[in-house]
Amino acid sequence: MATPATALPRTQAGAGGRHYQRFDLLDRVMHGLLMVTFIGCALTGLPLMVADHAWAQSFSRMLGGFQSAMLIHRICAAVMIVVFVGHVARVFLDTARSGKWLEMVWGPNSMVPNLKDVQDIAGHVRWFLGKGERPRFDRYTYWEKFDYWAVFWGMFIIGGSGLLLWFPFFFAQFLPGWVFNIAMLVHGEEALLAVGFIFTIHFFNGHVRPEKFPMDPVIFTGRISEHEMLDERGAEYDRLVAQGRLAAVEAPPPSPGLRALAYAIGIPAVVLGTVTIALIVYSFLF
């Protein structure tokens, strides 16, 4: 059992090897499924968009042809939709059990942007310019919330247009034909935007920036060291100490095997994402 956790002086934090639970098992499994299916949709959808390129035709043949690529694309999309619906349901069910509806939209664990995020953005700009100290972030930073909502609304746009294209005969009973032309355009353009954002901005913020390179394993291990928590999420650390809840989130450090598994999954994902961006740039320039 973990020993009780109390606040340490900043110069000593992390020396004892303390770790804290940041994501539970279900969070990690759902993120893993989202990651795999998103990469699957990207790698199978892009060749369909640029089918006149030789690399797209060769890659599709490796998958068994464009029809097989389309099948894989739809399987990944279906799993992604299930994960998305499951996530939304979980948020509402957990909130209903606790009865803390206001905290769902305004609490420190909420993904909804609030006044502190505006203050953090301004403070971060001042820090970048050498005009102030780095902001002390809480559980979720403003750029993590931006990532979250980009994916959240993208699911409605990409998923909705994708379902129209997947089941055209069903939806044609209710919708005019021109809607499907718009759906085709929106699905492809929004998907390119999502792929470009996730495989550049999100990957940089989460994995490629110097202090995290080559990746941050926390989404796979679920645990963050005390040193990292103080450095990156000082406001959350202080809040948990003030509430007397720090000991409740203390956890054993991730095992070497779990860390190795995290890198075995995460690094190939970063590489595949980078390759996908390179293929997009190549396909639209040449």
Q: Is 252 left (phi over 0), alpha (psi -120 to 50) or beta?
A: beta
Check: CB of residue 263 under 8 Å from CB of residue 221: no
pTM of the model: 0.88
Whole-angstrom distance, CA of residue 73 vs CA of residue 163: 12
Q: What is the residue extent of each domain of the chain?
A: 19-285
Whole-angstrom distance, CA of residue 217 vs CA of residue 211: 12
pLDDT score for 209 = 85
Which 3 state secondary structure label does DSSP give 14? Answer: coil
- Find tokens 């068994």 and name the residue: 64
Going across the sheet that includes 19-21, the strands are 223-225, 19-21, 250-251
Crossing angle, helix 54-62 and helix 25-49, to 10 degrees? 130
Whole-angstrom distance, CA of residue 55 vs CA of residue 47: 8
C-alpha angle 92/98/104, rounded to 5°? 50
pLDDT score for 5 = 43
Query: What's the per-residue H, E or C state across 168-230?
Result: HHHHCCCCCCHHHHHHHHHHHHHHHHHHHHHHHHHHHHHHHCCCCCCCCCHHHHCEEEHHHHH
Which 3 state secondary structure label does DSSP give 37? Answer: helix
Amino acid at 244: G
Q: Is 130 left (phi over 0), alpha (psi -120 to 50) or beta?
A: left
pLDDT in tens, the chain (286 residues): 333 444 444 433 433 489 999 999 999 999 999 999 999 999 999 998 999 999 999 999 999 999 999 999 999 999 999 999 999 999 999 999 989 888 888 888 899 999 999 999 999 999 999 999 999 999 999 999 999 998 898 899 999 999 999 999 999 999 999 999 999 999 999 999 999 999 999 998 888 888 888 889 999 999 999 999 999 999 999 999 999 999 999 999 999 999 999 999 999 999 999 999 999 999 989 8
Whole-angstrom distance, CA of residue 26 vs CA of residue 147: 20
CATH of the domain spanning 19-285: 1.20.950.20
